[in-house]
Amino acid sequence: MSRGPAWRLGHKADPVGVRLADGHYSRRTPGSPQFMPPGETLVLVAKDERAVFGWWRPHPRSGLRAMNGLDGWTCSIFRRIGGKIASALILEAERFLAAEKTCGPDGLLTYVWDAKVRSEVPGTCFLAAGWTVHPTKPRSADGRKTLLWKPWRLAGLVPACAPCLDSGRPVASPQGYCMCVFGDRLYAAVGA
């Protein structure tokens, strides 16, 4: 597994990003030369070219608001086809964003279309990176997607939770997983 920063800065029409985005369930127009919505974006492409991550928000000077009414950075795409563990890539993408930008009061956001992901627990990689279901808007307006959220102050961090601290088990695996999120079964499957 590679060490060091996983990401390089990309752009809305990055050819590697476009190729990876074309295989994502949220892609509306495969083959389109751009894969990010209009607005302010920060696109990251894995140096090994096996992942793309796109942060988005309405441009602050536009006067527009996100349709959900929240003011934060939204992960509009994350696709990984191998390489580093997904939650580690998410944490690095959070740190990259925090080093480059400021954030609105609603922090980091992403939608997971439950029926279109293969995981038994939709959003598993985000949950492992310390994200939770949004406290006041847990579902999209159409009810098909779960809204996950992470406070800006925790960008790049996986906080230890009380059950982990009280359990006597290690607080986190070498990859930074909170042990109570998945229990020993997943830890054993990905453990160092």
**Distance separating alpha carbons of residues 48 and 118, to the nearest angstrom:** 23
pLDDT in tens, the chain (192 residues): 445 568 999 999 999 998 998 878 787 788 888 888 889 999 999 999 999 999 999 988 888 889 899 999 999 999 999 888 888 899 999 999 999 999 999 999 999 998 888 888 889 899 988 899 999 999 999 999 999 999 998 898 876 555 555 555 544 444 444 544 444 333 322 322
Residue pair 50/41 in contact (Cβ under 8 Å)? The answer is no
Residue pair 91/172 in contact (Cβ under 8 Å)? The answer is no
Is the pTM higher than 0.75?
Answer: yes
Q: Closest Cα partner for 55 from 28, 39, 75?
A: 75
The domain segmentation of the chain, as residue ranges, is 7-157, 160-192
Using CB atoms within 10 Å of the CB of residue 168, give its burial: 0 to 12 exposed, 13 to 18 middle, 19+ buried. exposed
**Residue keyed to tokens 């400021």:** 102
User: Quick check: helix, strand or coil at residue 58?
Assistant: coil
CATH number for 7-157: choose from 3.40.630.30, 3.90.1150.10, 3.40.50.410, 1.10.10.60: 3.40.630.30
